[in-house]
Structure 1
Amino acid sequence: MTRYSLLDLVPVVEGGTVSQALANAADLARHAESVGFQRYWVAEHHGMTGIASAATAVVIAHIAAATSTIRVGSGGIMLPNHAPLTIAEQFGTLDALFPGRIDLGLGRAPGSDQRVARAMRRTLETDANAFPQDVMELQSYFANDGQTGIVATPGAGADVDMWILGSSTFGAQLAAALGLPYAFASHFAPDALDAALAIYRRDFRPSARLAKPHAMAGFNVFAADTDAEAELLASSQQQSFVALRTGNPRQLPPPVAGYRESLGAQGNQILGHVLQCSAVGSPATVARGIAAFVERTGVDEVMVTSAIYDHDARKRSLSITAGVMQDMKIAA
């Protein structure tokens, strides 16, 4: 049965604060848990005024403390920004605090531009091509197999569920080679989705962690009682994408009626391409969109994501999404 999970970028809305965004994230996580979502992930982004999850491990602790059963983790930690030992200690601490509930999704993008990446790392000598070696070093710390000559404390022996994330075929190849679960960022980078999933399944090597491939894919869902209401809710994220793609990232703006019509052909082409893995509409419309996506990809898990300006409307969207998936016998 295909599971359903949630990716939250912890949006800071226009006129809002980081404190409010973090409080909303905890409330949203409790709600997601109550309606059957499998896991709740936050992502590492830096230098963006509209995203409050930069200190990702701290935010994970905040979410995990506000919930009791849902898995909580990263989608993802951008490993080139960090020494593997640091991440082993952070997530070993999280596992000690919330045993059996922590996921560690790993990506190799910077989560920022080069200027912010330099400020994060102090030097750009860190090579994203060293990502596979960094992942294996991190595995070694958790396994406490002696290969590094260092015992991560906390970290050694931690039961952290590691994932490889990707938006190209690179991550699929690595996840397959290491026998790890794989998550594809089709919610904003859909181009290589089918090729990446095919490579992952074809080349997967069973590991002590995973006997067979387990694939997840991101999917935008904006659900409301009517198609028109959902289209209005979706316009906040659409505005954010356009702002980001034009080099002007901003806080999450309020919805604008008729936003897509105001963009013209070029703007609509950008959004239509970037957000093609989406379902926007009433329960019936969302059900058709999710069913088609699952049939196309055969994923084991759908990672739902959506940025909605009004917090209550966002919770309502999650409730509708969960109900739709349960009706489709897509259960956690």
Structure 2
Amino acid sequence: MVTLSVLDQSPIRKGGTAAEALANTIDLARHAERLGYSRYWLAEHHNTASFAGSAPEVMIAAVAGATSHIHVGSAGVMLPHYSPLKVAELFRLLETLYPGRIDLGLGRAPGSDQRTARALQPGPQAYPIDVFPQQVELLIQFLEDSIGLGGEAGGFPIGHPYTGIHATPRGPGLPELWMLGSGGDGAAYAAQFGMAYCFAHFINQDAGTQPLEIYRRNFKPSRQLERPHGSIAVSVTVAETEEEARRISASRNLWVLQLLQNRAGAFPTIEEALAHDYSDEEKVMLRAVERRGIVGTPEQVRGRLLQMGTEHGVDDFVILTITYDQADRVKSYELLAKAFGLGA
């Protein structure tokens, strides 16, 4: 059985506001739960006019509070910016509020430019990127200690500098751990720590099947996961006709083109995207951008996703859909859910 989930970056449209983008996130989450999607993940971006989601832990609380049973999580918390203890406490609190529903997805990318990344760091003792594995290990130890594993069995052993420091509130449950990545490094870390792994195909489709192969080949069982569990995050736009799907996707395509030119702002209207006077160089770039996602009718998109699943050896997809109009975005998720028989 295929599992479908949602990745929401809370996009800000031209002429709209961040408040509107966040309200659209809550609205879409309610629809996703009704439609039968399994998870609703919130992204982390900083210093951008394109996305409103700078604090996924805050949006997780808002989305979980507005829904009743769908899993809600981060995609992801960019751990190099933060203290592992603080992240453990944030997600222990979320798990206590919404038991059995919280996913903690981790990433090592900055989610911003390098200057902003430095500004997010906690001062001169900031974490260099090469200590990311140690941060993940500390985070897992704090989380396991919070459910009372303690001692050599889990948490911090006797004599460790952090023995006796607990991620609170303590309790019986743990958030579900995921590693997010667009290449081999994230896959290797997910395998090392026995975490589920989601490959960001929408960022790096040129990586092919290699990241998931690395993950499966090197996976080590953990307390949370006995066998590897892989997923793919894919950019998707669905409409009743292929022509309409391509028209709707023009907005995001122009935005990605502008991103590649370091000119990204709020998402342009469909009319602006269709009327844009593309240079010859931009036309080449645009064709490459169009290949980064799956666009078409429900049947076309379903077929392509199933083909990707066979190629990558997964049946778990996280769907990223960005449109200028919220109604088009909701409709895209509705059509895809119906094509896969979710909630039937």
TM-score range, shorter chain: over 0.9
Task: Find the counterpart in structure 2 of residue 77 from structure 1.
Answer: 77
State the alpha-carbon separation in 2 of the partners of residues 117 and 182 from structure 1.
24
**Which structure's CA Rg is the greater one?**
2
Task: Name the aligned partner's letter for residue 19 of structure 1.
Answer: A
Deviation sequence 1:226-280 (CA, Å, 0-9, x none): 1111111111111211121111121111113774995355334434445535221
Task: Name the aligned partner's letter for residue 299 of structure 1.
Answer: V
Task: Find the counterpart in structure 1 of residue 156 from structure 2.
Answer: 146
Is the partner of 1:256 in helix, strand or coil?
helix
Contact 1:184 1:216 in 2 (8 A): yes
* 1:194 matched to 2:218: no
State the alpha-carbon separation in 1 of the partners of residues 226 and 140 from structure 2.
17
* 1:182 matched to 2:197: yes
Aligned equivalent of 1:279, options 282, 288, 294: 294
State the alpha-carbon separation in 1 of the partners of residues 170 and 258 from structure 2.
39
TM-score under structure 2 normalisation? 0.90
Contact 1:189 1:274 in 2 (8 A): no
Task: Name the aligned partner's letter for residue 128 of structure 1.
Answer: I
Deviation sequence 1:78-110 (CA, Å, 0-9, x none): 000111111111111111111110001100011
Task: Find the counterpart in structure 2 of residue 171 from structure 1.
Answer: 186
Compared CA separation, residues 203 and 269, structure 1 to 2 (3 A): farther
Is the partner of 2:227 in helix, strand or coil?
coil
Moved more, 276-285 or 6-15: 276-285
State the alpha-carbon separation in 1 of the partners of residues 167 and 22 from structure 2.
29
Is the partner of 2:41 in helix, strand or coil?
strand
Contact 2:294 2:301 in 1 (8 A): yes
Is the partner of 1:232 in helix, strand or coil?
helix
Task: Find the counterpart in structure 2 of residue 23 from structure 1.
Answer: 23
Task: Name the aligned partner's letter for residue 229 of structure 2.
Answer: H
* 1:312 matched to 2:327: yes
Root-mean-square deviation (Å)? 2.0
Is the partner of 1:132 in helix, strand or coil?
helix
TM-score under structure 1 normalisation? 0.93
* 1:303 matched to 2:327: no
Task: Find the counterpart in structure 2 of residue 126 from structure 1.
Answer: 127
Higher relative contact order structure (alpha carbons within 8 Å, sequence separation ≥ 6): 1
Task: Find the counterpart in structure 2 of residue 12 from structure 1.
Answer: 12
Task: Name the aligned partner's letter for residue 139 of structure 2.
Answer: L
State the alpha-carbon separation in 1 of the partners of residues 285 and 83 from structure 2.
36
Is the partner of 1:138 in helix, strand or coil?
helix
* 1:250 matched to 2:265: yes
Deviation sequence 1:104-156 (CA, Å, 0-9, x none): 11000111011111221154742111111111100011101234321111356
Contact 1:45 1:112 in 2 (8 A): yes
5+ unaligned residues in a row in structure 1: which ranges? none
The Cα shift of 1:12 comes to 1.1
